[in-house]
Amino acid sequence: MARLDELRLMTKIARLYYEQGMRQSEIATRLTLSQASVSRFLKRAQDEGIVRISVNMPPGIYTELEETLMARFGLQNAIVVDSGGNDDELLQRNIGAAAAYYVETTIRQNQIVGLSSWSETLLAMVDAMHQLPRATNAQVIQILGGIGNPAAEAHATRLLERFARLVRGTAINLPAPGIMGTEESMSVFLNDPYVQRVQTLFADVDMALVGIGDVEPSKLLAQSGNQFSAAELETLREQGAVGDILLRFFDADGRPVNSPLNNRVASMTLEQLRLVERSVGIAGGQRKFDAILGALRGGWINVLVTDQVTAENLSA
């Protein structure tokens, strides 16, 4: 076939497919070609520049930023949402809604999901979630102690149990405070058979949903009573701590801050979190930038849901 004849046929096939919406099988019948030939000519039409496919990103979609984050930090996935101006509540809702959609579309049957307590962003995620049409039979495990101030504890309970209902799974509480008063009191809780059984399940978690905090506790965490004293927090800062996941602190390079305070925390460890197939960090905002960067550098999460401004700063 002469070059001009090939180009003419490619163009005809491309117009039928892209402009008239005909299926490849219909084009093959009309032009007396095999469907494989039609497919091959469509591919060549792109190579020749006859067809140019472009993706026009709608406002509020940041695919390039997401791809940059994935490449820079070796992430499985990154989801970037509008920052919401200076409105922290809107920022939290935007991140929560994106995380909710991610969970709804990626959760698998019989999955074992680890869920952190005391995270306002995770609460926003649960508030944005829709009831799944079919039961997942997921086990939803609390991976940070959820006992604390009764008013705040209701939030932690709502987070776990409502999430489990929405995915049509089963909630498994960790019946312990996030932070114990002393190492001795921690030993008492760790000897409880039910606490031991829940902690044993940490190794089976294949999707963990966690907030990322800076050293200063969030409002919800402070209200819960699961916080270290001002002096203890200052000691953590002196040791280089910039943030935490599950009340396990790390420095700017993501290295764990090894402190005796770790012995008073009832949660999955960072080392356990690193082994989870999908460890999803859900956080954004200027206040948490150093903590998010540290978490990424440490490799403690492999999926990030964050906002545009944070993503741009992480990519700079």
Q: Quick: pLDDT tens for 40-86.
A: 999 999 999 999 887 777 878 899 999 999 999 999 999 999 987 77
Residues 158 and 286 in one domain: yes
Residue found under tokens 């405070």? 177
Residues 151 and 206 in one domain: yes
Whether residue 138 is contained in a domain is answered as yes
Work out the pLDDT band at 148, boundaries 50, 70, 90.
confident
SS (H, E, C) 27-44: HHHHHCCCHHHHHHHHHH
Cβ-Cβ contacts under 8 Å for 312 (sequence gap 6 or more): 65
Whether residue 15 is contained in a domain is answered as yes
Residues 31 and 159 in one domain: no
| CATH number, domain with residue 87 | 3.40.50.1360
Residues 98 and 67 in one domain: yes
Residues 101 and 14 in one domain: no
Whether residue 288 is contained in a domain is answered as yes
Provide the CB-side half-sphere exposure for 7 (13 A, CA): 6
| CATH number, domain with residue 35 | 1.10.10.10
Whether residue 54 is contained in a domain is answered as no
Region 97-124: mean pLDDT is 93
Among candidates 269, 300, 263, which has minimal Cα distance to 203?
269
Whether residue 57 is contained in a domain is answered as no
Q: Do the beta carbons of residue 203 and residue 141 sit within 8 Å?
A: no
Region 213-242: mean pLDDT is 87
Residues 9 and 154 in one domain: no
Region 10-14: mean pLDDT is 91
Residues 143 and 43 in one domain: no
Distance CA 298, CA 274 (A): 9
Q: Do the beta carbons of residue 146 and residue 122 sit within 8 Å?
A: no
Whether residue 58 is contained in a domain is answered as no
Region 122-126: mean pLDDT is 93
Query: What is the per-residue pLDDT for 271?
Result: 96
Residues 159 and 290 in one domain: yes
Task: Let me know how long the chain is.
Answer: 316
Domain total in the chain: 2
pTM recorded for the entire structure: 0.85
Query: What is the per-residue pLDDT for 19?
Result: 92
Residues 80 and 173 in one domain: yes
Cβ-Cβ contacts under 8 Å for 188 (sequence gap 6 or more): none
Q: Do the beta carbons of residue 264 and residue 179 sit within 8 Å?
A: yes
Which residue type does 90 have?
L
The tokens for 94 are: 């935007």
Residues 127 and 24 in one domain: no
Range of the domain at 90: 63-315
Distance CA 207, CA 167 (A): 13
Whether residue 52 is contained in a domain is answered as no
Residue 68: count of CB within 10 angstroms of its CB: 17
